[in-house]
Amino acid sequence: EEMENNSEIDLKFNTDPKEIRKQDDGSFLVIDQDGNEVECDSILYATGRKGKIDGLNLESAGVHAEGSFIPVNEYSQTNVPSIYAVGDVTDRIALTPVALMEGHRLADTVFGGMDRPVDHEFVASTVFTTPEIGTVGYSEQEAVEKYGDIDVYKNRFRAMKHSFPQSETYSLFKLIVESKTQRVVGCHVATDGAGEMVQGVAIAIKMGATKEDFDNTIGIHPTSAEELVTMRTPSYYYRDGQKVDKLE
């Protein structure tokens, strides 16, 4: 919503282009999965990744592949015990720091005498849009599926630096908390510098910080990040998989 309001770009989510037609005047017609049509002058279609395994001759070594990716276990081991794979080609989390972690843990396990399986829980990431989107941990839907009962803290506001010039740029902050333990299991931020902000939050979440730990932390004023430690009342809840606004 913020990107649309401030850039005049028409964003269409959950859209899968099924057909692209070049018209007589040189323009293009895009038809999505629901039959909706969009006319445009040019198209940049960059979705998904493909593993670069051509030329590796995996078949001769007996290594199993699924499409262009190589399935592995928690130790990055393929179906052939002496052969390992890490990074994007394993189709786990396609991020450079994740590949570094996988390679480091593989080296520690195979050559360092340690037992270090990969750990893909609570990996922070950022979408470098305007505003940035920073996220770590579980989404609402994922948290409900894993924990059942969760509390959701959410706030949308205009940061002080945008208030004085009367800018219409708003920020969005959301915390996902497991109800039983009060552990923070998700943080999602849409604001300027969200990536820098969420990297620090990821440390706390990875360490198992609770909502009380967040509440006991003094905020830095005036910053947008202080919202993470000042949200006191849940915006809504999920109980037995169902969203409820208030608890009885």
Q: Annotated active-site positions, please? A: 221
In the chain, DSSP assigns E strands to 17-22, 28-32, 37-40, 125-127, 132-137, 150-157, 171-178, 184-191, 236-239, 242-244
List the Cα angle 39/42/44 in 5-degree steps: 115
240 vs 248: CA distance, rounded Å? 14
Upper half-sphere CA count for residue 84 (Cβ side, 13 Å): 18
Q: In this structure, which amino acid lies at residue 197?
A: M
Evaluate whether 22 touches 28 at the Cβ level (below 8 Å): yes
194 vs 143: CA distance, rounded Å? 21
